[in-house]
Every structure is written in C-alpha cells, then in structure tokens.
Amino acid sequence: MQKRKLGNSNLEVSALGLGCMGMSANYGPPADKQEMVALIRTAVERGVTLFDTAEVYGPFVNEELVGEALAPFKGQVAIATKFGFDLDRETAQRRGGLDSRPEHIKAVAEASLKRLRVDAIDLFYQHRVDPAVPIEDVAGAVKDLIAQGKVRHFGLSEPAAATIRRAHAVQPVTAVQSEYSLFYRGPETEILPTLEALGIGFVPFSPLGAGFLTGKMDENTRFDSSDFRSRVPRLAPDALKANLALVDLLRDVAQRKNATPAQIALAWLLAQRPWIVPIPGTTKLHRLDENLGAAAIALTADDLRVIDDAASKLTVQGARLPEAVLRMTGG
C-alpha cells in the first residue's frame, strides 16, 4: 500500500484509510462485532494504517470496536476520532446539539483514550463546527491536549475556509475531513485551495457517495428506515434514477481500465492531490479488497479529462444530506 503525508505534517498514512462508522451505526443494524474486529485486522494486514471513528458513532461502541481491533497494532497505525456532539454518558444517546466547549473537549479526549485503548489520539477532529464556541477556543483546547501528550494531531470536519484559517493560526491543523467525491464536489471551490495554501491534508469521507458510486444501486433501490440513506434527498427514488448517469460514466471508464466503478471513483480522488487520503467504509471483506485495489490504478491526464468533461455535463439531483444535517456543516 502506498503512503501519503497529510499536508506538511509528519503524519504519514496509507493512501486509503478505512472509515469504521458503518460497522456500528447509520447504515442499519450494527454488524457482528467479532466479524468487524476481523475485518479491521485484515485491513491492517493489507497495509491500511489510518482508521476513522468517532464517539458519536453508536454512540461510543464504534470507538470500543476500533480500540479492541487495533490493540495488537499499537504504534503501527493511526486512529482518528472526533468530538463535538452533546451526548448523554449514562444512556449512550445524543441529547441533541453540539458541544465544543474546551472543558467538554478535554473530557471527551479522556473517555476516547480509554475506549480506544491508546495513550494518545493520533488525530482528533472537531466533528462539526459549534457556532456557540469560538474556533480559537476549540483550537486552544486541542493545543493543550497536544502539549499534554494526549493528542498528536488536530483536525476539523466540514468547516468553512475561514474557520480553517482561524483555527490553524492557533494550532496547526493537520487534516480536514469533509465529503468529497464525483457525487459531491463542493470542496473544490474554497476548501482545497485553502488546504493547499496552508499545507493541510484532506480526508474525504463518503468517497463512494454512501455506496452510490459502487454501481450496486439501481432505480429500484430502497433503504430501510434505520439506514440514514433513506433520508438523503439525492438518493430519493426520482433523484437516484436521474443520478445513475454518473455511475454509467464511471462504468465506461472502469471497463477500459479493467476495474470497477468504485475503484475508478477512488482513483479519481487520489489523482486530485497527493495529500488526499479517502476513507471508504465497508463491512465486507471483498469490498475492502476492491477498494484497496484502487490505489494501484493510475488514471492518465486523458482519463481524468474524459471523466471531468463527462461529469461537467451532468447535474446531480437532490441535496447530499437532509436539511437539518446540512445546517451543521460549513461553519
């Protein structure tokens, strides 16, 4: 597995990481824990060294899963987790809003360290920007944790460009995590140029469009009510049917490259910048192997031009997230 550095930092990780959220939450009932432990350990054997989780996934149980799975590999892998939601520690439920008060950040760090079974959190993201807390205070709290040796690197998830600059001035930001794929190209306007200017790495989540870009969905695909995709406007029946043109584009390129649509979607992301590290998630071993195979696919300048020219003629129908969730992004 090729390695990449996240921006100007000394955090070097595999070119593709593994998003672990779907093993415990948001895509229907949780997967079998021991099967997921085995899957994560297989990913390590395949060369993956960046694993992404968060306290809110579950809540709490995904961090526990990742901690158990990676306990034998201390010092060999990097674990990213996140703070910023108001969670009830007793009931393990979300109470509602955001909470990035410095004292809360520090309490979350202590709890995450225990669940992850580590001495330091490799990459600690603010999960969503909290409008009630100045980003300088957030960065200052993480700076304190870094000084104490409890955190190694600071990250932001779904921030606006101005927020990145303000945070970075207090504590250098190692990585920004936001949605980015051929299905959603919003970061290209302001985020990517800002990261390039500041020397910050980029970790696209949902790099396969919540499974859409794999080519496994069709116009008849429907989602269970426990699957968050049942509430995503761009995956509603009419929008999904219209958006399949994007998958057809990927399928055409994949046939020429002896690859799959998912592999082309990931290879396209890897080709955008050398400091981009996508984190596709899966609960299936054959999908893990398929995704990791994308790192070996070289898209030429002509390939990229063909993809971009064809994609520019398509307009994705429907918002990428429900409106209530979108209101918490881009702060």
User: Residue 81: its pLDDT value, please?
Assistant: 98
Predicted confidence band of residue 327 (pLDDT cuts 50, 70, 90): confident
Predicted confidence band of residue 217 (pLDDT cuts 50, 70, 90): very high
Q: Where are the domains of the chain?
A: 3-326
Q: What is the mean pLDDT of residues 195-224?
A: 97
Q: What is the mean pLDDT of residues 187-197?
A: 98
pLDDT digits (tens, 9 = 90+) for 80-112: 999 999 998 878 787 879 999 999 999 999 999
Q: What is the mean pLDDT of residues 188-215?
A: 98
Q: Return the SS3 of 216.
A: coil
Which of 57, 125, 180, 184 is labelled catalytic? Answer: 57
C-beta contacts of 253-259 below 8 A and 24+ residues apart = 253/303, 253/306, 253/307, 257/297, 257/299, 257/303, 259/293, 259/294, 259/297
pLDDT of 331 above 60 = no
CATH superfamily of 3-326: NADP-dependent oxidoreductase domain (3.20.20.100)
Q: What is the mean pLDDT of residues 298-319?
A: 96
> What is this structure's pTM?
0.97
User: Residue 330: its pLDDT value, please?
Assistant: 63
pLDDT digits (tens, 9 = 90+) for 226-259: 999 999 999 999 999 999 999 999 999 999 999 9
Is the four-CA dihedral 74, 147, 112, 229 of positive or negative sign?
negative
Q: What is the mean pLDDT of residues 16-42?
A: 96
Per the structure block, which two tokens stand in for 320? 């990428």
pLDDT digits (tens, 9 = 90+) for 131-183: 999 999 999 999 999 999 999 999 999 999 999 999 999 999 999 999 999 99
> What is the percent of the chain where pLDDT is above 70?
99
User: Residue 111: its pLDDT value, please?
Assistant: 98
Number of Cβ atoms within 10 Å of the Cβ of 4: 22
Establish whether 57 is a catalytic residue. Answer: yes
Q: DSSP class of residue 30?
A: P
Q: Which amino acid is at 282?
A: T
Predicted confidence band of residue 61 (pLDDT cuts 50, 70, 90): very high
